[in-house]
Structure 1
Amino acid sequence: MEKINNVTEFVFWGLSQNPEVEEICFVLFSVFYTVILLGNLLIMLTVYMGNLFKSPMYFFLNYLSFVDICYSSVTAPKMIVDLLAKNKTISYEGCMIQLFEVHFFGCTEIFILTVMAYDRYVAICKPLYYVAIMDQDSCNKMLLGTWLGGFLHSIIQVALVVQLPFCGPNEIDHYFCDVHPLLSLACTDTYVVGVVVTANSGTIALGSFVILLISYTVILVSLRKQSAEGRRKALSTCGSHIAVVIIFFGPCTFMYMRPDTTFSEDKMVAVFYTIITPMLNPLIYTMRNAEVKNVMKKLWGRKGSWEANHK
């Protein structure tokens, strides 16, 4: 059957149709997005200026912060602008690009979090082999794998949607282009595509979540053999990782480990993994990580004293 596509643009319903609620959301999410940018940039600057790249944990934390900035920037700026706009539209091409970027950066973040869990597992459970296993070459290969994995996943998602015919309805009850809302607008039976989408996204989200839970369970069990100081330091680091994993993977699993259906709650759930998690990551990693806080104090304290001496 020949593909029919009469749709040149899509119209978002946005987070709310209430003007007063939209104004409140505009202020709230503008603050959230500013915190995302400043918080993650602060971590990246700290890692760079503190020369922490040699440590695998900070090597991956730096790229997690970079991905968080990119991931939130795919949806947040347009959503914020649309909160005050009468017409919340996006072109068909823009929608497909946004769909690709959301899944590319989102999937890459999932894989980076998984690699970070592996790094903590090796550091705590195999400390004698840590330097050999997590050398710079291995870290670079793992990082490349996270980007390639995210790219492959997002290409599959976009390929499934691009071949669908859109011949009429173009209103999306969401604030960005995602697979499930788009499938509901297609002028054809999307059952098979929906199953493939669930298998693709759901397997990655749930599979990675299970792997992470197993990894941290093994880590926590192995901590019983550590000294009190070793346990405290490991729990401080792992606690921050576990918090991020739960906040990120809970909503992701809800969204993608299900058949091709949409719920009114989807928008609020999506806010958690597209905006709340990227905003909380810097706070969690700095507040729960004594080493990061110490490096920040030394760096920015030293910078402040340098500026004072050169006035």
Structure 2
Amino acid sequence: MVNHNGTLFSPEDAQLNPFNRGLLYGDGLFETIKAVNGKLLFWEDHYFRLMASMRILRMEIPMEFTPEFLEEELLKTLTASGLIDQTARIRITVYRSGGGTYLPEERGVGYYAFAKAHPNPFYLLNEEPYEVELYKDHYINADLISTLKTTNKIVHVTGSIYAQENGYDNCLLVNNEKNIAEALQGNLFLVKGTHIKTPPLADGCLRGVIRKQLISIIGLMDEYTFEEASISPFELQKADELFITNTIMGIQPITKYRKKEFTIETAAALLKKLNVKVRLG
């Protein structure tokens, strides 16, 4: 079922206004959330990221857009989809309502949400081969807008097609300063010895929810040092480990980049601690 501004529709009956600004101009934002037995994982982080992003895009946030209201709408969507007592991924898209051209006629918003079943309630370690390559046809801008989950993800779309056509499991995106910003579906972490680093937000990477959780986890582990610092393509083949993070898969180890193969021990250790946060949260 699709929840459009609080009204539930079947996918066949749901309709999108042809003048929808999210469609015409990418004037929208989205959050993809993992839900387990009616619980939205890391909901507070998702909610505040969405609110902050709406402010950055100069959208007027409705008074009713409280954490409780939006959570209830998402749970209503899960229930209508028969997924309230299962594991699911649910996406909410917020778009600027009204018409106009580049200049909106109004600043208010609308929203729609839908859910799909997901097989795993907890994050599992994927030990299968996972190869990546750089995607350099188009670059990510090292700016604030790139850190938001906007509905304009054309670089990620074309990069995903490139990866599929060339037999890669994922690609790493380069910013306009020629540093690694992120992967197609998440944030990148690099491990060298006992030192872990991830690109800073200033490099244009997504303000990831699992990125935030891992930074917190690593900060409590005496065996590692950590920094947010730019990663150049030359560093990738010198690393001991590379892994990708996002809300749905948790942590995905990279096993190969060009001729270099990587271990997965750090990713495995961090994944255990991430699952503890899921259980306790």
- TM-score if structure 2 supplies the norm length? 0.24
Query: Structure 1 or 2: larger strand share?
Result: 2
Per chain length, whose mean CA-contact separation is higher, i.e. which structure has more relative contact order (CA < 8 Å, sep 6+)?
Answer: 1
Flag the structure with larger Rg: 1
- TM-score if structure 1 supplies the norm length? 0.23
